[in-house]
Structure 1
Amino acid sequence: MEDEAVLHARVGATIRALREKSGLSMRELARRAGVSQPFLSQIERGASAPSMITTYRLAEALGEQPGALLPAPGEPVTVVRAGEGRAIPVANRPDAATGRALVMQPGTPLEVIEYVVAPGEYLEEWFALPGELAVYVVDGELEVEVEGRAPVVLGPRDLVSHSAALRHRWRVHGDAPVHLLLAIAHPPEGPARRPAARTAQLSDRERR
């Protein structure tokens, strides 16, 4: 397991390399991704780590899958032990729920992210992106709201799946933490090569 600062530096270097390969200036990439240039500079220098929202926005602006923004794994078979995996917050705010990226690698359309969210942690961002998703609850209860539909509450061993292009958000239901797995299958051509439906909002810090 790499040191967190080293991992942030490698993520920043990967984003910078992809930006330079695409011929985009830092200002232009920041504009396309809807983040500020100073914040993008912090990411590229490894001083800040992009949240899930920012990762998707940067990937879309670069014409890449989100996993391409992470350093390539050193081996073709990857084992992620308990406690390993990149920590990725839902948004850049102190109370944001933080997921653990179990599968998010270059060259694969599949993402698997684990969350253990306590009541009071921020989880309620609206998301929409190309592809399909499934949410499996390991423990606790999760309220899933898909825009235009009645919310549903999932309990242990329940699963919901739907088009990821439908705007959706989650809430912890009840007073106990919820443990869940999120799986996303992106289209083979990559999320930035289709008309984007994603409308996830940026936090105040990411806008500055």
Structure 2
Amino acid sequence: MDEAALNARVGATVRALREKSGFSMRELARRSGVSQPFLSQIERGVSAPSMVTTYRLAEALGVLPGALLPAPAAAQVTVVRAGEGRDIPVANRPDAAVGRALLMQPGSPLEIIEYRIEPGGHIAEWFEMPGDLGVYLIEGRLDVEVDGYGVVRLAAGDFVAHPASIPHRWHLVDDEPARALLAIAHAPEGARHPSGHS
């Protein structure tokens, strides 16, 4: 499926979930902290949501982030070859680092995203979401800043885990490239409820 068709399916999914929740576009924009014009672009398939936007929309709609992406053909085995997987930028800005979603499917409480982080790529976005996460560093060095805990410096082969609900962000060390694997375990779909935050 090409990028335009994928964006159209993501947009249709967001719109269907919004309508199912009984939210106007303005209300979903307010609850998710996304501008209404940008939400309109997502729903029309003109723009693709970044990781930040995907998490914010999913939380506002009370679903797992993978529910916003098109469902693959039903199978018990998922194989993602090198070069496959949906590219998702960290934030809605041109210099944002891009993650490759290896596992991010409707109904699955597990997400696996590979990040190749190049010098100058924006990754220092604060994230927080329900569930637990782990970061395994494949190569390079990466500082993982966890609010209230401090900075954990990872080298190749190192791993850190913490509740995903604690605000956290990443920083490259010495402006050298790094490659990391991010795993997020969410509560199952039935255990989530729409958030009332603004």
TM over 0.5: yes
- For each residue in 1:15-64, what CA deviation from the matched residue of structure 2 results, as whole angstroms up to 9, or x when unmatched? 11111222221111111111121111100111000011111111111111
The equivalent of 1:155 in structure 2 is 155
CA distance in 1, matches of 2:24, 2:196: 22
For residue 5 of structure 1, give the secondary structure of its aligned residue in structure 2. Answer: helix
For residue 73 of structure 2, give the secondary structure of its aligned residue in structure 1. Answer: coil
**Contact 1:130/1:191 (CA < 8 Å) preserved in 2?**
no
Structure 1: give runs of 5+ residues left out of the alignment: 200-208
For residue 144 of structure 2, give the secondary structure of its aligned residue in structure 1. Answer: strand
Name the aligned partner's letter for residue 47 of structure 2.
S
Change (3 A) 1:160 1:188: same
Q: Offset at 1:185?
A: 0.3
Structure 2: give runs of 5+ residues left out of the alignment: none
The equivalent of 1:131 in structure 2 is 131
**Contact 2:61/2:194 (CA < 8 Å) preserved in 1?**
no
* Aligned counterparts, 1:9-24, within 5 A: 9-24=8-23
- For each residue in 1:156-208, what CA deviation from the matched residue of structure 2 results, as whole angstroms up to 9, or x when unmatched? 111000111111110011232100000000112568538799x9xxxxxxxxx
Name the aligned partner's letter for residue 152 of structure 1.
V
Name the aligned partner's letter for residue 128 of structure 2.
A
Higher mean C-alpha deviation, range 91-100 or range 75-84: 75-84
Q: What percentage of residue pairs aligned between the two structures are identical?
A: 67
Name the aligned partner's letter for residue 52 of structure 2.
I
CA distance in 2, matches of 1:146, 1:189: 26
CA distance in 1, matches of 2:191, 2:137: 26
* Aligned counterparts, 1:91-102, within 5 A: 91-102=91-102
Change (3 A) 1:111 1:17: same
CA distance in 2, matches of 1:40, 1:171: 28
CA distance in 2, matches of 1:18, 1:24: 9
The equivalent of 2:146 in structure 1 is 146
Name the aligned partner's letter for residue 162 of structure 1.
H
Change (3 A) 1:177 1:191: farther
The equivalent of 2:29 in structure 1 is 30
Question: Given the alignment of the two structures, is residue 75 of structure 1 paired with residue 74 of structure 2, yes or no?
Answer: yes
For residue 20 of structure 2, give the secondary structure of its aligned residue in structure 1. Answer: helix
Name the aligned partner's letter for residue 50 of structure 2.
S
Runs of 4+ with >6 A deviation: 194-197
Question: Given the alignment of the two structures, is residue 107 of structure 1 paired with residue 107 of structure 2, yes or no?
Answer: yes
**Contact 2:144/2:152 (CA < 8 Å) preserved in 1?**
yes
CA distance in 1, matches of 2:85, 2:94: 20
Change (3 A) 1:163 1:101: same
**Contact 1:111/1:183 (CA < 8 Å) preserved in 2?**
yes
The equivalent of 1:41 in structure 2 is 40
RMSD of aligned alpha carbons: 1.9
- For each residue in 1:73-120, what CA deviation from the matched residue of structure 2 results, as whole angstroms up to 9, or x when unmatched? 113132111111111111011111010011100011000000000111
The equivalent of 1:62 in structure 2 is 61
What TM-score comes out, normalization by structure 1 length? 0.89
